[in-house]
Structure 1
Amino acid sequence: MTPASPDRLVVLTGADGRLGSRLAFRIAAAGGRQRLLVTGRGQVPRLPDGAPLPETEVVALPSELSFDSSPETASRVLTGVFEGAHAVFLVPGQAGRRRVARHRAAVDAAVLAGVPHVVYVSSVGAAPDAVATVARDDWLTEEYLRGTDLRWTLLRTSMFHRTLTFAVHDESYGSAPGTVLRAPAGDGRVASVSHDDVADVATAVLLDEDPRRHDGRTYHLTGPESLSLDEVAETLSAAVGRTIRYVPQTAEQARALFSRSTTGEVEDWITQCQAVEAGVLAGVSPDVGQLAGRPARSLADWLDDYPAEWAHLRLPSVR
């Protein structure tokens, strides 16, 4: 475990989310001081007995900072939250047309609060012409960060292991029921990664005894292998004990299947799958192993280590 300096405060945004909460536990275990910005959409990280994490302050997302609040309002509110921080861990916002504006407001707040270092969770394949919508938004955020005097580190992540499990559906095909993995990803391959691996890397970066070691660095966080969606389905089948087969979709079929989700969330999923089909997420990077000090978890290892993360696949009806 990376030791933490007691005079360095870390602010974690989205700390009640799947990634932020894992990072909060790691920072606390290392003896770090942290301030958690929570949204109310998840659970505040706490010890098993319900006690708060040591050396941890929790700040609820203020009521005036709503989804539709102006960038100026967001920047003003977040400046107070970021005050006194040695580093800010910035996770991307929810899907929507104002996502980049909210990211820029957070960067502005870090500048105004005098934060030295921002660690931003970006996407593998981030580029101005990226296939995935979120990767284009991440590129714009990265460019905005580069235009400031802040020290920055980019954690470009692949698709998460857990995300793949939510593309599995129980349904009938032909004359018999079956379980299928549906995605508009064609014959593409993906080197998916676990939330825990990304949290371990973020811990190493945020608590490094040499705080400038990661300045201006871009890390690509992937799993240890690149799998086709047929291979993903086979791996999931072995874990759940029933056959799951991969059935490629069109974008239109995916939109119909996820009609209950918001438009932005659906388009994020579809375009990320299209990035898989285009080969954008197929590459395997050594960065997790080099920064976390252990190999990245494969999808099979993750399924074995974290059964609660895919418990929904054990239900009689997945959808």
Structure 2
Amino acid sequence: MSERVAVSGATGHLGGGVAELLSVVGTPTLLITRDPARAPSLPGATVARSAFGDPGLSAALRGVDTFFMVSATETVDRADLQRAAVAAAVDAGVRRIVYVSFVGAAPDCTFTFGRDHWHTEQAIRDSGLDFTFLRDNLYLDLMPSMIGDDDVIRGPAGHGRAAMVARADVVEVAAAVLATDRFDGRTLELTGPHALSMADVAEALTAALGRPIGYHRETPEEAYASRAGFGAQPWEVDGWVSSYLAVANGDLSRVSGDVHRVLHRKPVGMADVFPALADL
């Protein structure tokens, strides 16, 4: 396919990575960002200063065939902002949206931030545009950020497991999906090769980082108490805690074959991702 693709979140890991892969194959891209000075300089790419909920987004998207819609940073009104972005795409004449969602997105899913993804998916379905949903699991690459100052991961994940995915795989799958209409109307679950417990993660990080990393299974009450001093809003703390509860409930444990179906190779796992983190 030869079409113009708009990429939101172009200064972030997913958006920037996808834009770079599209540039390599000569796909004309529009990089949408709040801060054009931070946008990557790529052959065949133009930059627009805009954001979800911005009244100028529709004008920025005119002439775009496909909108790669990276979900926005969590805010209390994220679902509303993303619905506004879908409406802007419709108004601009965009044909298709490829949306970065989350595994298990539902109006009442355990992981409260996943509910925003469901509402956004519904808005896209109702828009009449072609679509593909990329439902990502937790990101393997972000596991080190869960480590506390005392080298312990704390959360109410119990003995549950999550089929965590590498962000590099998400980037590569997204670029492949954007290059074809073969996945239109599909919901793809992007996972790693194994379902991992937080104890598994701590053990692997211990080996990769060269220092002991522990995992403490909090109760939900302990989890809320341990995060009470962060200065975060209640909805934000709910999201943090409920991400672990979703693991405990088994909501994120399913290992999907969708990365293999798109890329024709196995997804990468802890052994591929964590050694690169040894300099943290």
TM-score tier by shorter-chain length is over 0.9
Task: Measure the CA separation in 2 of the matches of 1:42 and 1:250.
Answer: 44
Aligned to 2:262: 291
Q: State the Cα deviation string for residues 74-121 of structure 1 (Å, max 9, x = none).
A: 3x3110111111100111122222111101101001100010000111
Change (3 A) 1:243 1:301: same
| Offset at residue 233 of structure 1 (A) | 0.6
Paired residues of 1:23 and 1:203 also in contact (CA < 8 A): yes
Change (3 A) 1:23 1:256: farther
Question: Normalising by the residue count of structure 1, what TM-score does the alignment of the two structures yield?
Answer: 0.82
Task: Measure the CA separation in 1 of the matches of 2:24 and 2:59.
Answer: 26
Aligned to 1:174: none
Aligned residues: 278
Task: Measure the CA separation in 1 of the matches of 2:164 and 2:38.
Answer: 25
Please list, as runs of the form range in 1=range in 2, the aligned pairs for 1:107-146 lying within 5 A after superposition.
Answer: 107-146=86-125
Task: Measure the CA separation in 1 of the matches of 2:32 and 2:270.
Answer: 30
Change (3 A) 1:39 1:183: farther
User: Any gaps of 5 or more consecutive residues in structure 1?
Assistant: 46-51, 66-70, 172-178, 315-319
Aligned to 1:84: 63
Task: Measure the CA separation in 2 of the matches of 1:37 and 1:98.
Answer: 20
Change (3 A) 1:270 1:25: same
User: Any gaps of 5 or more consecutive residues in structure 2?
Assistant: none
Task: Measure the CA separation in 2 of the matches of 1:278 and 1:41.
Answer: 41
Aligned to 2:198: 229
Q: For the pair shown, which has the larger CA radius of gyration, 1 or 2?
A: 1
Task: Measure the CA separation in 2 of the matches of 1:44 and 1:122.
Answer: 23
2:204 aligned with 1:238, yes or no? no
Which structure shows the bigger proportion of residues in helix conformation? 2
| Offset at residue 252 of structure 1 (A) | 4.3
RMSD (Å), alpha carbons? 2.0
State which of 55, 67, 72 in structure 1 corresponds to 2:44: 55
Aligned to 2:153: 181
Change (3 A) 1:43 1:165: farther
Aligned to 1:26: 21
User: Which stretch shows the higher mean deviation, 231-240 or 261-270?
Assistant: 261-270
Aligned to 1:215: 184
| Offset at residue 293 of structure 1 (A) | 2.7
| Offset at residue 257 of structure 1 (A) | 4.2
Aligned to 1:300: 271
Aligned to 1:203: 175
Q: Counterpart of 1:166 in 2: which secondary structure? A: helix
Q: Counterpart of 1:96 in 2: which secondary structure? A: coil
Task: Measure the CA separation in 1 of the matches of 2:75 and 2:4.
Answer: 31
Task: Measure the CA separation in 2 of the matches of 1:238 and 1:42.
Answer: 38
Task: Measure the CA separation in 2 of the matches of 1:252 and 1:36.
Answer: 42
State which of 125, 146, 166 in structure 2 corresponds to 1:167: 146
